[in-house]
Amino acid sequence: MTDLRIRAALPEDADSVLAFWRTAAEGTSISDDLAGVRRLVDRDPEALLLAELDGELVGTVIAGFDGWRCHLYRLAVRPGLRRRGIGSALLAAAEERFVRLGGRRADAMVLVRNESAQHAWRAAGYGPEERWRRWVKPLAD
């Protein structure tokens, strides 16, 4: 994939990112709206990484760093282009960002039911952390 380009999302990418997630991402998030994506890009312009092939969006990952921990969300690759190194390139870019910012360990949100994603994360060197459980509380309807 020598023509693959990884870049940070711009505010004007929000619509295409949301459309991409509807076809390439597993599940939805409470933040999957125009305001949510734009807020992410405005707050941390380097957090949402896009993979493009011949100018088309083919992958995403959110590489969030809060100054303490490194969090990965929304690793998604266009279904017909999976297993070609796009996800690996996105993760490498995210991990480079984390190291540059002083991050020491990355964690990833991976759906329990998404077995193919679990395989991909394991192949990238990640593993489940059984000692902790994610607790959530919606703050909006």
pLDDT in tens, 97-136: 999 999 999 999 888 888 988 999 999 999 999 898 888 8
CB atoms within 10 A of CB 140: 5
User: Which of 74, 87, 98 shows the shortest CA–CA distance to 17?
Assistant: 74
What average pLDDT does the segment 20-32 reach?
A: 86
Q: Is the pLDDT of residue 138 over 90?
A: no
Q: Is the pLDDT of residue 54 over 80?
A: yes
User: Which of 63, 66, 53 shows the shortest CA–CA distance to 20?
Assistant: 53
Taken as a whole, the chain contains a residue count of 141
The pTM of this model reads 0.92
Q: Is 93 helix (H, G, I), strand (E, B) or coil?
A: helix
| pLDDT of the residue at 41 | 97
Rounded CA-CA distance 65/42 in Å is: 14
| pLDDT of the residue at 5 | 97
- Do the beta carbons of residue 97 and residue 82 sit within 8 Å? no
Rounded CA-CA distance 111/119 in Å is: 12
The residue that leads in pLDDT, 86 or 2, is: 86
Q: Rounded mean pLDDT of the chain?
A: 93
60-73 pLDDT, tens digit per residue, is: 999 999 999 999 99
| pLDDT of the residue at 1 | 58
DSSP letter, residue 7: E
Q: Which residues pair with 48 in a beta bridge?
A: 62
Q: Which residues contact 103 (CB under 8 A, 6 or more apart)?
A: 65, 69, 70
The percent of residues above 90 in pLDDT, for the chain, comes to 77
Rounded CA-CA distance 29/33 in Å is: 9
29 pLDDT band, cuts 50/70/90, is confident
